[in-house]
Structure 1
């Protein structure tokens, strides 16, 4: 009986991680929209040779509210939530399963850095691959704007399902996973650092007994420290992913018209936009990733704590 209940908990780790990230996505999607547009602004153009529609995050909010509407700040919301649920459900859930099975720790309960990295990378890549079609359509919808402030290629989808249908009709199932390699790289880099730093800091604070690591403020502090490392390491890969996902596609061959792949995109950005091109949208990424990391891990740990408490009470009652 206990073995069966343990299996249920292992599977439910995926659901708890996904729900936590989806709730966080509700609050941070507007920043994701601004980030996407800033990353596409001045694509493959040297600084000073293109019109700057979005000077920073706050100017981006103003421009969208003035030229579109406040509702436009939630563009791509539906695929964004599905992506967060699927990607982080796997990423958080599978990482927690590894932690539950003591694959990330030694006999004393200390986090083993390289094992934690491997588990973080593996869970992130799986989650990113599964959720990639939703990230693709999310990027297309978020970049759609009025012509006066348009940046990047403008796809003509009217909804998430309309986007899936259009991409499938043109490029088949393979087209739905276009750019997935870049997304897997992006998430594995950021995810491994996020989860590893979170687990390491939490273990350290627990040993020092400075605060209650299972409390809401203990979780928030551990997540805050992790988010600082995530933004610096993840932004260049985030820019590359956005460019690869949003580029126009040849309807016959199904290949991107601007970039052949990750390395080609990296080379072209460096050659035309310089090293700072990889950090476009850094401010928006920081403002988004910080709160999103905090909220994702906070809700994940909160839901997980409440679920395990309920599960324990049910076990005692039976």
Structure 2
């Protein structure tokens, strides 16, 4: 009898995980389609070289970057979309699956469906670490392909980029910048899911409603707030990550010897503002992209539960 209960429990957990994965995939697709143009602008601003004395920067500001990118055609804003569409869909499904598992784990441990603040943060941070196994190479490839101008493309697309890097530098080349990606994901997703779940839990308690009864417009606001909760604390780390991932692969072509060296050189050459290149594009992106991600996830989960 006890073994039967264990089997039922495992089957139930597997079904819940599959639901979270499906909901996360839907959320991830929405995230990429809404966010890719913002990401392209952000990466180009982050990775543009420091201007030489007496010369203007490649992009003077966010609007200038948008204007110059638009000259390459509308498709330039969606360069490298195939990789994130597949990869980010997988990443977001992993994030929601891990957070869903952690939420149920802590709920059983607390004998209360509402988690404490530290538990909410740890749930998101754990999801970020697991997610980084896929997000690291996905963002590396997306960063390289979205940065290059249409007129002078070294990589014809994401697949070509992967082939060229792997053939020359192996799996370590694909996972370039992985350590700083893990640091960003831990803090970023800790704050991300903490903000969203905290606001959602508070609404459920104050309104005495179940998760699937919370108004959709509130989910949009909570998702937008989660985006800011993620990006504001980790943006300087993301800038360094982008610079490391677009740096050369060999000692002869590499500009930065290490993560610390990158931090030092950015500060020395550009000052504190160097860590906030593309910040405006990121903040504009944060609200619509993450609002759409969470709403798509929640609506997908509600649809599944009705089947």
Asked whether 1:64 is paired with 2:72, we answer no
Contact 1:42 1:50 in 2 (8 A): no
CA deviations on 1:212-267 (whole Å, 9 max, x unpaired) are: 863311211222222232231121111011111111111xx7x9712233222112
Q: Report 1:1-318 matches (<5 A).
A: 2-3=8-9, 4-43=11-50, 50-66=55-71, 68-102=72-106, 106-145=110-149, 156-209=154-207, 214-250=214-250, 257-310=254-307
TM-score (norm 1): 0.85
Contact 2:173 2:249 in 1 (8 A): no
**In structure 1, C-alpha distance between the alignment counterparts of 2:231 and 2:217, rounded to whole Å:** 21
CA deviations on 1:10-52 (whole Å, 9 max, x unpaired) are: 2331232133112221121011000000111234x68x76523
**In structure 1, C-alpha distance between the alignment counterparts of 2:253 and 2:117, rounded to whole Å:** 38
Q: Secondary structure at the match of 1:52?
A: coil
**In structure 1, C-alpha distance between the alignment counterparts of 2:87 and 2:207, rounded to whole Å:** 36
**In structure 1, C-alpha distance between the alignment counterparts of 2:148 and 2:137, rounded to whole Å:** 17
Q: Secondary structure at the match of 1:76?
A: coil
Deviation at 1:146, TM superposition (A): 5.3
Contact 2:107 2:114 in 1 (8 A): no
RMSD of aligned alpha carbons: 2.4
Contact 1:106 1:112 in 2 (8 A): no
Deviation at 1:193, TM superposition (A): 0.5
Number of residues paired by the alignment? Answer: 298
| Structure with the higher fraction of residues in helix conformation | 2
Deviation at 1:104, TM superposition (A): 9.2
Q: Which runs of 4+ in 1 moved over 4 A?
A: 210-213
**In structure 2, C-alpha distance between the alignment counterparts of 1:209 and 1:50, rounded to whole Å:** 58
Deviation at 1:156, TM superposition (A): 1.3
Contact 1:36 1:281 in 2 (8 A): yes
More divergent stretch after superposition (226-235 vs 137-146): 226-235
Contact 2:120 2:190 in 1 (8 A): yes
More divergent stretch after superposition (232-241 vs 205-214): 205-214
Gaps of 5+ in 1: 148-153, 311-318
Contact 2:136 2:175 in 1 (8 A): yes
**In structure 1, C-alpha distance between the alignment counterparts of 2:64 and 2:37, rounded to whole Å:** 13
Q: 1:105 to 1:199 in 2, by over 3 A?
A: farther
Contact 1:137 1:164 in 2 (8 A): yes
**In structure 1, C-alpha distance between the alignment counterparts of 2:144 and 2:62, rounded to whole Å:** 19
Gaps of 5+ in 2: 1-6
Contact 1:211 1:218 in 2 (8 A): no
**In structure 1, C-alpha distance between the alignment counterparts of 2:253 and 2:20, rounded to whole Å:** 37
